[in-house]
Structure 1
Amino acid sequence: MPKMSSNVADAVNGLPADSTLRHAETESDLRACYPVMRQLRPHLRDETDLIQRVLRMRHARYCLLAAWEGDAVVALAGYRLQENLLYGSFLYVDDLVTTELSRGSGWGARLLDQLIHIAEQAGCAKLVLDTGLANSLAHRFYSRQGLLTGAIRFAKSLD
């Protein structure tokens, strides 16, 4: 069977033909990501705040993968490749969000699938993410995607 082009495969899977996943690399790309990221991270002051943070975080291998429908970002995933003594090499998902209007259209699953592919290509042993204890909708989504609860994180604010 011939391999379908990405746009044809998207249309078959119910996604718009002009949809694509690509990394947000430029300042213009990051500006387009701001309204979506702000839904997950409302403490971000403005586009400049997001851009400055992402540029600093790139030193720690932070990447931002965005789902685009035409020129609009409808979902995104911020991640980094890391290594520690607990997991070895792993991909950590910092951010995963779909716009309220686009939820239920497959973007979250598609982003997670792509992150798993990136992790496998990088030789990672795991994909890891944190979510709030009260975020039951996200818990159900992650369970449907095959992710298992493996830890409870403790934190202390140092303000």
Structure 2
Amino acid sequence: MTVIKELKSETDWLEAYPLMKQLRTHLDRDQYLELVKDSAASDGYQLAALYYNEKIVAVTGFMPMITLYNGRFIWVCDLVTDPNERSQGHGRELLLYVEKWAKNHGYERISLSSGLQRIDAHRFYEEKMEYQKKSFVFLKDL
């Protein structure tokens, strides 16, 4: 049985850390917790987890945004499924949850970025979730 739960407390966030660490390998536990707290307070960042048999097997982080390009939209910051649980529809269920959340809160679209090396993820977004590749994301460390 699968259940999707909003993760709202520090205890919830820490429960999701081992799985999020698979995606955000550069973050230790304290950095992760500080960033989640700060972004939840300042940017409306939210975490949601998909539980299968009472164990987190997939997690997503997202936040509402407004830009001139996208208008009112949801930015999916993070989406990760445990490697042992992939190809079972968990990522799809979480993205559908984000879509429903967006519609219920008056947002017009969803956007995300995905690392260039994540070919399987790109195929998932385009073929299974009907996302369109619209741009490249550029980054400059200062």
- TM-score interval (norm. to shorter): over 0.9
Q: What is the 5 A alignment of 1:137-148?
A: 137-144=120-127, 145-148=129-132
Q: Aligned residue for 2:13?
A: 30
Q: Deviations over 1:98-157 (max 9, x none)?
A: 001111111000001111111111221210000112211111000121001011111111
Quick check: 1:150 aligned with 2:134? Answer: yes
Mapped contact 1:36–1:74 kept (Cα < 8 A): yes
Q: Which sections of structure 1, spanning at least 5 residues, go unmatched?
A: 1-16
Q: 1:71: Cα distance to partner?
A: 3.8
Q: Aligned residue for 2:25?
A: 42
Quick check: 1:113 aligned with 2:96? Answer: yes
Q: Among the aligned pairs, what percent are the same residue? A: 31
More RCO (CA 8 Å, sep 6+) = 2
Q: Which sections of structure 2, spanning at least 5 residues, go unmatched?
A: none
Distance in 2 between residues matched to 1:148 and 1:22, nearest whole Å: 27
Distance in 1 between residues matched to 2:26 and 2:139, nearest whole Å: 18
Q: 1:30: Cα distance to partner?
A: 1.0
Mapped contact 1:32–1:72 kept (Cα < 8 A): no
Q: What is the 5 A alignment of 1:1-159?
A: 17=1, 19-46=2-29, 48-58=30-40, 59-144=42-127, 145-158=129-142
- Answer with 1 or 2: which has the greater Rg: 1
Q: 1:49: Cα distance to partner?
A: 2.4
Q: Which runs of 4+ in 1 moved over 4 A?
A: none
Superposition TM-score, scaled by structure 1 size: 0.84
Distance in 2 between residues matched to 1:21 and 1:62, nearest whole Å: 17
Distance in 2 between residues matched to 1:149 and 1:78, nearest whole Å: 20
Superposition TM-score, scaled by structure 2 size: 0.94
Cα RMSD (Å)? 1.1
Partner amino acid, structure 1, of 2:7: A
| Number of residue pairs matched by the alignment | 140
Partner amino acid, structure 2, of 1:41: R
Partner amino acid, structure 2, of 1:69: Y
Distance in 1 between residues matched to 2:140 and 2:130, nearest whole Å: 30
Distance in 2 between residues matched to 1:72 and 1:51, nearest whole Å: 20
